[in-house]
Structure 1
Amino acid sequence: MRHLSTVDLKVEDSSGVTIVHFPEEVDVVNAPAIRERVLRLLNSGISEMILDLTGTRFLDSAGLHTIVRAHGRSTALSVPLSVAIPEEGTVRRVFDLTAMARLVPTTIGLPDSRRTAAAPPLSCSAAGTRRRGRKPRR
């Protein structure tokens, strides 16, 4: 049996949507436990999931892997999954640099009534693009 770091994830249900609030730091130490919990929730028959990273200040490649695995499982189960990221900071920069928003639907802050940030939601493609005088590809 493999050893998983214990992590206390806040999970809530809001109007049938399961919201998983990621901790302030997601790294190689706690990412396996987070991934295990997220995959277990997806397998339990939920109807929709939001991974809330709005309170996360650090995210390494193990954390990105957790999100990619969750996306893969949610796609296989036909469960809508999106990721809410902070308007600015390290996590937003990681998403921009890796173009993660092209793979996983991403919003700035929590969408709709679940919003904790004042920023409007961005489409998947808008969250991962940078404006440098070039027109976006079509």
Structure 2
Amino acid sequence: MLKPLSMVLSVALLVTGAVIAYPADDALAVDVTLAAQGAPGGLGVSGSAVTGLYPGNKGQLTVVVKNPYRFPVSITAVSGHLVATSRPGCKATYANLTIGRYAGAPALPARIAAGKQARLGYLPVWMPAKSVADACQGATFTLRLNATARKAG
């Protein structure tokens, strides 16, 4: 039996813009971009930019996985977890930023050829409509992306 390959990568969602305004409906309006930091060795996991994120609005963090091995792998799971924020009053809770389950095509498990990179589906990311703390304006949210793979047959 083959043991699963596992890799973890930290990804920072950067809230951009110096001034955050409250529209008439009191919704927090922010733009979010994504910056990925890779870990040496193992699978490479990155994500796309998430823009136009504000309370009640969803974005999609598209997942890209690079297979550095000399054999094909089968990606069996992808997930993301909120681990930190840059603002003291903005807690790293799902009340401030929520990461959903992997969705889109291809469905998992997804095969990636030896030495190749593949664009997979996405993780939905959103700020809940009514619970986001005011302290989260202009905050940086740090996510940990997890991808699990096994050697493809």
When normalised by structure 2's length, the TM-score is 0.26
Structure number with greater Rg is 2
Write 1 or 2 for the structure with the bigger share of helix.
1
Q: Considering Cα pairs closer than 8 Å and 6+ residues apart, tell me whether 1 or 2 has the greater RCO.
A: 2
